[in-house]
Structures are given as C-alpha cells and as structure tokens.
Structure 1
Amino acid sequence: MEVLIVEPLEPRALDWLGKRRAIHVDPSLASDPRRFEALLANARGIVVPPTMRLDARMLLAAPALRAVCRLEGGPGNIDLLACESAGIAVVQPAGAGAVAEAEFATAAMLQLLRRVPVHEGEGVYVGRELSASTVGIVGMSPTARLLAQLAGGFGARVVGYDPALHASDSGWRQTGIRPVPLAELFESCDVVVVLLAYYSRYHGLLGERLLEACKADQVLVCLSPSSVFDEEALAAALGSGRLAAAWFDRIEPGWLDPGRALCGIDTLHVTPRLAPSTRESRARGAWALVRRLDALLGAPPADAAFTETVPSALFGPGGDPELA
C-alpha cells in the first residue's frame, strides 16, 4: 500500500489514482483510530476527512509519510507545524468549492434582502433588491472573484477588504473589487459577505467596534468559521436590530446553546456547511487532490498502467482549483 484513503473521493479520480499507485480505500477507518494508525505506519500519502485528528505523535509513527490530503479546505485537526517539521506536504484544493460557495452566497444575499423586510415609514415594511445594494466582501478567497462577478451582474456595487492584501495590490483590480478599510466597509454596505480563511490571529476580528457602527439594516452572510466574530458583539448587533439578519454556513459548537448570547435570536439563520457541498465541487476537488498527491509521490512504478485523462470540463476556463 502506497496511499491510504479514508475520505470518499469521486470514483473516476480514485480509479485514475489506483492505476498509478497502490491504494487502500477504507472509510471505516475514520471511526477506528487503532487500525488507522497501524496502516498509517507504511503509507506515503493519506486522504483523510476533516473529522480525523493528525497530531505530532501520530506523524512520528509514520516515517514514510510524504503527503496529507484533505478534500475540504481549512486546517481542521491537522497539526500543520508537525507536518512542516517532518517535511510532510498538506494538500487541500482550496478553490474547488469556489463556484458552489459563490452561488450559495448570492442566494443567501437575495433571500435575506427580500425575506427580512425593513421599515419604509408609515408602518410599511418592504424587501430590498441586490441591484440597489452595496456588497462588501471580507476576505479575498477564490470565491470572492466569482461572487463579485455574480453580484455585479445584478448591478450591485462591490467593495472589499482583506487583512493580508494591501489596497495597492493588483489583485483588487483583477477582481473588479474596490478595496476599502474594514470600518468603512461595515459602515457603508447593505450586505457583508465574510470569506476569510481562518487563522488564530483573526479570532474575534469582527467585533463590537465594527458591528455597533454597521450600516442600519445591514444583512450578513458568513462562510468562514464563526469564530472570526466576537460572539457577544454579534448577538448585540442582531438583538438591537442594527444588523437586520445574518446567515452563517457554519457555527462554533455551543454558540446556539441555552444561556449563550445567540440562543433564540430569530434573525440568525444557520446551515451545516452547505455552501461547498455540491457534486461538482467535490469532483473538482478530488481531481485536483489526486493529481497533486501523485506528483508529490514522484514517478509511479514502471508497471503502472493508466489511460484515463482528467475531465477538463470540471474545471472550466479558470483551470485547476488552487491547492493549499
């Protein structure tokens, strides 16, 4: 066995890899850590789901390991420092879900603007149109460019902020997004979409100072881990009505429990990580992942036979998904 696969992958991508490498596929290993560790000792590459933990102790017991692969983006339970110290590459197709996420965020914006009415005066409550809105994107992930195109197609004005991207960076011009300071974004936008990749330094970044000063009746869509927000400040903004509604596609365990600040707030909508979960995004991610894994493991055995090519239609004009 050369590659241990615990996370189910798109069958054609798995078949392609199986013709080049000796693979062992067993999703049941996700709930059987002892068996997984026993097989890990001889693996050169592994594909694991986000629920599985890989710490320094486990990596020390895998001297042949050269690549750890995850179909879903984000560090999750992988000890990145231990991987780096051991010379193990961490492969994640970060852009595979960009199309799915951009579509989901657009649908969420439309839903919130139309289904959460605002007071127009004289007792009249009405919905709003995306075409008349200013959309602020926080985090220039691969999804941001596509989302800006979709929002712009409706006629919305799009601005953005990224803590790791200077306002003079050419990337802003390429995406068609006008960079603004974070405070200005919250103060001026009708809709805010948060796409930040999570790092510990971003914990609670979006807090009281920003949310108290947000534009009245603002709606918010977050595809990032909810911990980029300050929990109490988010609850206060929603509770006061300053923030008209928020849609989170993932939320920290316990945040909705009785006694917590967000419990019972009816303008908070939560879905269980649905944004990137499409058949097409999983297929794109699987192909990007197996190709990168194959390259990292070096030349395949001389007797490996393979004829299947990667279906380029999955990737479209933008090419391959980005790999973290």
Structure 2
Amino acid sequence: MNKPLVISAPDPRSLDLIFSEENKAGLFSDYEIHEMRPEEVNRSDTAILAQARYIIGQPPLSLETLEKMRNLRCIFNVESNLINNMPYDHLFERGIHVVTTGAVFAEPVAEMGLAMALCLARDVVEADIAFREGRELWGGDGNARASLLSGSRVGIVGFGDLGRAIARLLRGFRAEISVFDPWLPPSLLREADVTPADLDTVLRTSDTIFVVASVTSENKGFLNAGAFARMRRGARFILLSRADVVDFDDLMEAVRSGHILAASDVFPQEPLAADHPVRNLGNFLHSAHRAGALDGAFRKMGEMVLEDMALLDKGLPPMRCKRAERETVSRMRSRPVDKN
C-alpha cells in the first residue's frame, strides 16, 4: 500500500528543528517525504504534485501548481506568519486547509514580555549596568522611577494566542487589563476576564502596554507619534509581534524625549544594521527576535503537525494547528522570518 505523499519545504525551519528524532522517524515511517526548497515546488514533477496530500511549509504556490495537486488536503505553515504568496480563495473553494503552528510561540513570548515589563518597571538592566560601571545608587536612591507591576493598569493591543497568554501570566499580578482588538467581539474578551476598550483608552490609561497585533493591510504603522503622545508619561511600551505595526522612528523619538520607556523583540530590519540608532538608545530594552525561539517550542510544531495529519488521514478536520480564516488571511502583511 502506498504511503501518503508529503512535500516538505519548511524553510527557514527544517525537519530536524521541528521534529524530535522519534517524531521524525514516525513521519518518515508513515509518509513518503519529498524534501525540496520552497522555490522548487512550482517546478516539481507533475506526478509528485498530483499525489501530494500535505505540504509542510509555506512555499509560493501558483494557481497552475495547485490545479495539479488534486489530492492536497492541508498546508502546514510552520513558519507561522501567513504570507500572501498563494491563491487562498482557490484553496478555500476546494476545501483545502491552511493551518499554522504559531500557537507554540505564545507562552515563551509571553514570558519574555513579562520579563521585559518587570525589567522596565524596576530598572533591572540599567541598574545592573550602573553597578558594573561603579555608579550604582543604593536602596531607595536607585528607585526614583521604579514602580510595581502588581495592581497596575495594563493594556494589550491584539488578543490572539499571545495576548491571551500574557493575560494569563498577569493574573498573578492582580493587574487591571484592558484590551483593544477590533477583530474580536467584546463578549469574548469579557469571558477571558479582560476589559474591552478602544485604542485611545488603552493608550491613555495603561502603565504598561503590550503590543501583540499581527500586521494587516489596515494597521501598518498605526502606532505613531500621535499614539505615543497619548500615552502616560513614564509608561512602558513592549513590542512583541511585528515592527511594522509601529512607526519605529516615532517610537524612538518618544523614548528619546523621555516620554515613555520601551522594549522590543522585533525591528524594522532583521538583522538590524550595526549603525541603527536604536542600538544606543537609552530607556529602550532590546531583544534580537529571540523571545519564541526555543527548542521546546519548535518541537511542539512537529507534534501538532503529526497529530493533525493523523486526524486528516481519518477524514477529520485538523484540531491542533490554527486554521487560516477566509475573511482575514489575505489581509495579513507579515514578512517571512530569515532566521529561526
């Protein structure tokens, strides 16, 4: 009996990164795997395309290619950013699932965001640097701008898997959490024990703001000078999703002026130019897009893919990975990552 055929093109990920040795062995035991570069998929042999049941990765796919893939059931996007590089309408019309494994990053990124919030609230990094340089301030003298996260007012912009993970972590801090997410009904936010709010309210009232919104055709650069001006003086701004939702020059100016403090795990270009001014900007905490890049998270991707393949093989829908939605997938404007 022939095994189901899988086209594997997960670049920049690799099968060794996302599958444990045991799960990779199971994958190759249960499926016929054809590994290739993403750009090679459209040039693949017609017989391979016709037999392929699954794609692991997010290769660019032409309509002509997809019309040859009569047995395709699901595209497993393990890069996790939905990119407009395939005719999604055609996929949905045929009932082909497009799913992502991005949920694996929610918990590790949320923990990094919490760490950043605590560092900014208590001057952890700046105090350490001062100590190393022999200019530390002892006791209360070193807490002139320190404040508690406990019992504070927190805003979250975007409330997908990552926003929900942040809210769960903040419950232990008794924070008052307000959320702005125009793609969700208020009742869903209330059920998650957060307060629905418009963007202006989140900006004006929050001591700390976590930005975890995806980049779409509607929100590129929507957090700009006007938005930062509405924030409370001394508030903390933590960017964890994608830099394109922010006007980065405006963000740097808001920090440079002393109006807010900021932290970011993402930047306009990655890797960032050696002479980029944000590198030497005070009151700005930097992380090189490493918040979610943990081996454990990558391994969970492989587990999710295998579990959903098993369901699909039985004629059932995928349940572990998150399905792309017909109404929103073409509005996503994220850029692919170049490095894991």
Name the TM tier (shorter chain). Answer: 0.7 to 0.9
**Is this contact kept in 1: 2:208–2:235, CA < 8 A?**
yes
Q: Partner of 1:76 in structure 2? A: 83
Q: Partner of 1:6 in structure 2? A: 9
**Is this contact kept in 2: 1:255–1:262, CA < 8 A?**
no
Q: Partner of 1:218 in structure 2? A: 235
The equivalent position to 1:66 in structure 2, one of 70, 73, 78, is 73
Change (3 A) 1:2 1:226: same
**Is this contact kept in 1: 2:42–2:65, CA < 8 A?**
no
**In structure 2, C-alpha distance between the alignment counterparts of 1:18 and 1:85, rounded to whole Å:** 30
Residues 1:44 and 2:53 aligned together: yes
Alignment root-mean-square deviation, CA: 3.4
**In structure 1, C-alpha distance between the alignment counterparts of 2:91 and 2:222, rounded to whole Å:** 27
Residues 1:149 and 2:149 aligned together: no
In structure 1, the residue corresponding to 2:236 is in which secondary structure?
strand
**In structure 1, C-alpha distance between the alignment counterparts of 2:90 and 2:248, rounded to whole Å:** 31
Q: Following TM superposition, by how much is the alpha carbon of 1:251 offset from its aligned partner in structure 2, in angstroms? A: 2.2
Alignment of 1:1-324 (within 5 A): 2-7=5-10, 8=15, 9-11=18-20, 12-20=22-30, 22-24=31-33, 26=35, 29-30=36-37, 33-34=39-40, 37-38=43-44, 41=49, 42-48=51-57, 52-56=59-63, 58-60=65-67, 62-76=69-83, 78-79=85-86, 80-81=88-89, 83-84=91-92, 87-115=95-123, 125-167=144-186, 169=187, 171-247=188-264, 249-253=265-269, 257=273, 265-298=281-314, 320=320, 322-324=322-324
Q: Partner of 1:306 in structure 2? A: none
Q: Following TM superposition, by how much is the alpha carbon of 1:322 offset from its aligned partner in structure 2, in angstroms? A: 4.1
**In structure 2, C-alpha distance between the alignment counterparts of 1:277 and 1:99, rounded to whole Å:** 11
**In structure 1, C-alpha distance between the alignment counterparts of 2:61 and 2:240, rounded to whole Å:** 24
What TM-score results when the alignment is normalised by the length of structure 2? 0.73
Amino acid corresponding to residue 303 of structure 2 in structure 1: W
Further displaced range: 83-92 or 103-112:
83-92
**Is this contact kept in 2: 1:159–1:185, CA < 8 A?**
yes
Q: Following TM superposition, by how much is the alpha carbon of 1:193 offset from its aligned partner in structure 2, in angstroms? A: 0.5
**In structure 2, C-alpha distance between the alignment counterparts of 1:280 and 1:157, rounded to whole Å:** 31
What TM-score results when the alignment is normalised by the length of structure 1? 0.76
Gaps of 5+ in 1: 301-318
**Is this contact kept in 2: 1:91–1:292, CA < 8 A?**
no
**In structure 2, C-alpha distance between the alignment counterparts of 1:163 and 1:251, rounded to whole Å:** 24
Gaps of 5+ in 2: 128-139, 325-340
Amino acid corresponding to residue 174 of structure 2 in structure 1: G
- Percent of aligned pairs sharing the same letter: 22
In structure 2, the residue corresponding to 1:96 is in which secondary structure?
helix
